[in-house]
Protein backbone atom coordinates (compact mmCIF):
# COMPACT_ATOMS: atom_id res chain seq x y z
CA UNK A 1 0.00 0.00 0.00
CA UNK A 2 1.16 3.49 -0.71
CA UNK A 3 0.00 6.83 0.68
CA UNK A 4 1.04 10.38 -0.12
CA UNK A 5 0.79 12.63 2.94
CA UNK A 6 1.29 16.38 3.09
CA UNK A 7 1.63 16.96 6.82
CA UNK A 8 3.09 15.60 10.03
CA UNK A 9 -0.46 15.19 11.34
CA UNK A 10 -1.34 12.76 8.54
CA UNK A 11 1.78 10.74 9.31
CA UNK A 12 0.72 10.65 12.96
CA UNK A 13 -2.80 9.60 11.86
CA UNK A 14 -1.37 6.59 10.01
CA UNK A 15 0.55 5.64 13.14
CA UNK A 16 -2.53 6.11 15.32
CA UNK A 17 -4.49 3.71 13.10
CA UNK A 18 -1.72 1.13 13.27
CA UNK A 19 -1.32 1.51 17.05
CA UNK A 20 -5.04 1.15 17.67
CA UNK A 21 -5.05 -2.15 15.72
CA UNK A 22 -1.76 -3.62 17.00
CA UNK A 23 -1.65 -6.89 18.86
CA UNK A 24 0.91 -8.26 21.25
CA UNK A 25 3.95 -9.52 19.36
CA UNK A 26 3.60 -7.16 16.39
CA UNK A 27 6.88 -6.00 14.87
CA UNK A 28 6.82 -2.71 12.96
CA UNK A 29 9.92 -1.92 10.91
CA UNK A 30 10.43 1.73 9.94
CA UNK A 31 12.88 2.82 7.27
CA UNK A 32 13.31 5.76 4.93
CA UNK A 33 15.00 9.09 4.52
CA UNK A 34 16.69 10.78 7.45
CA UNK A 35 14.19 13.24 8.92
CA UNK A 36 11.27 11.82 6.92
CA UNK A 37 8.99 11.20 9.90
CA UNK A 38 9.74 7.79 11.40
CA UNK A 39 9.58 9.18 14.94
CA UNK A 40 6.36 11.08 14.15
CA UNK A 41 4.84 7.81 12.92
CA UNK A 42 6.04 6.20 16.16
CA UNK A 43 4.30 8.97 18.13
CA UNK A 44 1.08 8.12 16.30
CA UNK A 45 1.49 4.41 17.05
CA UNK A 46 1.99 5.27 20.73
CA UNK A 47 -1.14 7.42 20.63
CA UNK A 48 -3.09 4.45 19.24
CA UNK A 49 -1.75 2.37 22.14
CA UNK A 50 -2.99 5.00 24.66
CA UNK A 51 0.55 5.88 25.72
CA UNK A 52 0.66 9.28 27.38
CA UNK A 53 4.46 9.66 27.60
CA UNK A 54 6.41 11.94 25.27
CA UNK A 55 7.82 9.68 22.56
CA UNK A 56 11.40 10.40 21.53
CA UNK A 57 13.77 8.59 19.23
CA UNK A 58 16.03 6.25 21.23
CA UNK A 59 19.04 7.07 19.04
CA UNK A 60 21.60 6.81 21.82
CA UNK A 61 19.74 4.39 24.12
CA UNK A 62 18.90 1.93 21.31
CA UNK A 63 15.54 1.15 22.99
CA UNK A 64 12.91 3.10 24.94
CA UNK A 65 10.05 1.35 26.74
CA UNK A 66 6.55 2.75 27.22
CA UNK A 67 3.40 1.48 28.94
CA UNK A 68 -0.04 1.74 27.36
CA UNK A 69 -2.76 -0.64 26.19
CA UNK A 70 0.22 -2.84 25.34
CA UNK A 71 3.90 -2.40 26.19
CA UNK A 72 5.82 -0.56 23.45
CA UNK A 73 9.49 -1.18 22.73
CA UNK A 74 10.83 1.56 20.46
CA UNK A 75 14.22 0.78 18.90
CA UNK A 76 16.50 3.01 16.85
CA UNK A 77 19.34 0.97 15.40
CA UNK A 78 20.84 3.73 13.20
CA UNK A 79 24.04 3.79 15.26
CA UNK A 80 24.37 0.01 15.71
CA UNK A 81 27.60 -1.05 14.04
CA UNK A 82 27.44 -4.74 14.84
CA UNK A 83 24.37 -6.98 15.25
CA UNK A 84 25.97 -8.32 18.44
CA UNK A 85 25.28 -4.90 20.03
CA UNK A 86 21.54 -5.30 19.58
CA UNK A 87 21.59 -8.93 20.67
CA UNK A 88 23.50 -7.94 23.84
CA UNK A 89 20.56 -5.84 25.08
CA UNK A 90 18.20 -8.82 24.83
CA UNK A 91 16.64 -7.97 21.46
CA UNK A 92 14.96 -11.38 21.13
CA UNK A 93 13.25 -11.04 24.52
CA UNK A 94 11.77 -7.73 23.40
CA UNK A 95 10.55 -8.73 19.96
CA UNK A 96 9.26 -12.13 21.01
CA UNK A 97 7.74 -10.76 24.22
CA UNK A 98 4.28 -9.50 25.06
CA UNK A 99 4.58 -5.99 23.64
CA UNK A 100 4.80 -4.18 20.32
CA UNK A 101 8.21 -3.51 18.79
CA UNK A 102 8.95 -0.51 16.58
CA UNK A 103 12.36 -0.73 14.95
CA UNK A 104 13.60 2.43 13.24
CA UNK A 105 16.28 1.73 10.63
CA UNK A 106 15.52 -2.01 10.69
CA UNK A 107 17.33 -2.46 7.36
CA UNK A 108 20.56 -2.21 9.38
CA UNK A 109 19.71 -5.44 11.21
CA UNK A 110 17.51 -7.14 8.62
CA UNK A 111 19.01 -10.57 9.36
CA UNK A 112 17.62 -10.32 12.92
CA UNK A 113 14.06 -9.40 11.89
CA UNK A 114 11.53 -12.25 12.01
CA UNK A 115 9.79 -13.15 8.75
CA UNK A 116 6.42 -12.00 10.09
CA UNK A 117 6.53 -8.19 10.39
CA UNK A 118 5.20 -4.96 8.92
CA UNK A 119 7.58 -2.89 6.81
CA UNK A 120 6.87 0.86 6.63
CA UNK A 121 8.99 3.15 4.47
CA UNK A 122 8.74 6.92 4.60
CA UNK A 123 10.43 8.95 1.91
CA UNK A 124 10.48 12.67 1.26
CA UNK A 125 9.01 13.98 -1.99
CA UNK A 126 10.92 17.26 -2.42
CA UNK A 127 9.51 17.96 -5.88
CA UNK A 128 5.99 18.19 -4.35
CA UNK A 129 7.01 20.30 -1.36
CA UNK A 130 8.84 20.25 1.97
CA UNK A 131 6.08 18.47 3.92
CA UNK A 132 5.20 15.77 1.36
CA UNK A 133 6.01 12.16 2.12
CA UNK A 134 5.39 8.80 0.47
CA UNK A 135 4.47 6.16 3.04
CA UNK A 136 4.75 2.62 1.70
CA UNK A 137 3.43 -0.24 3.83
CA UNK A 138 4.07 -3.91 3.15
CA UNK A 139 3.38 -6.69 5.58
CA UNK A 140 4.38 -10.28 5.99
CA UNK A 141 1.87 -12.37 7.94
CA UNK A 142 -1.92 -12.39 8.22
CA UNK A 143 -1.79 -10.72 11.64
CA UNK A 144 -1.33 -7.40 9.80
CA UNK A 145 -4.36 -7.72 7.48
CA UNK A 146 -6.01 -4.85 9.37
CA UNK A 147 -3.83 -2.41 7.43
CA UNK A 148 -6.08 -2.96 4.39
CA UNK A 149 -8.71 -0.84 6.19
CA UNK A 150 -6.43 2.21 6.45
CA UNK A 151 -7.81 5.25 4.60
CA UNK A 152 -6.07 8.61 4.47
| Residue 29 pLDDT > 90 | yes
Q: What mean pLDDT, rounded, does the chain reach?
A: 92
**What domains can be seen in the chain, in order of their start residue?**
2-142 (3.40.50.300)
pTM for the whole structure: 0.93
Q: Please name which of 45, 54, 100, 48 lies closest in space to residue 73, comparing C-alpha atoms.
A: 100
The stretches of the chain forming alpha helices (DSSP H) are 8-21, 38-48, 83-88, 91-95
Share of the chain above pLDDT 70, in %: 100
Residue range 130-151, pLDDT digits in tens: 899 999 999 998 889 998 888 8
Mean pLDDT to the nearest integer, 58-79: 90
Amino acid sequence: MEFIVDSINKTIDIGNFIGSHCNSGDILCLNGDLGAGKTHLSKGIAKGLNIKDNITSPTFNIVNEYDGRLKLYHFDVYRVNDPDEIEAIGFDEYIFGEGISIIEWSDYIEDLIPNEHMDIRINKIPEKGESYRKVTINYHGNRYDYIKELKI
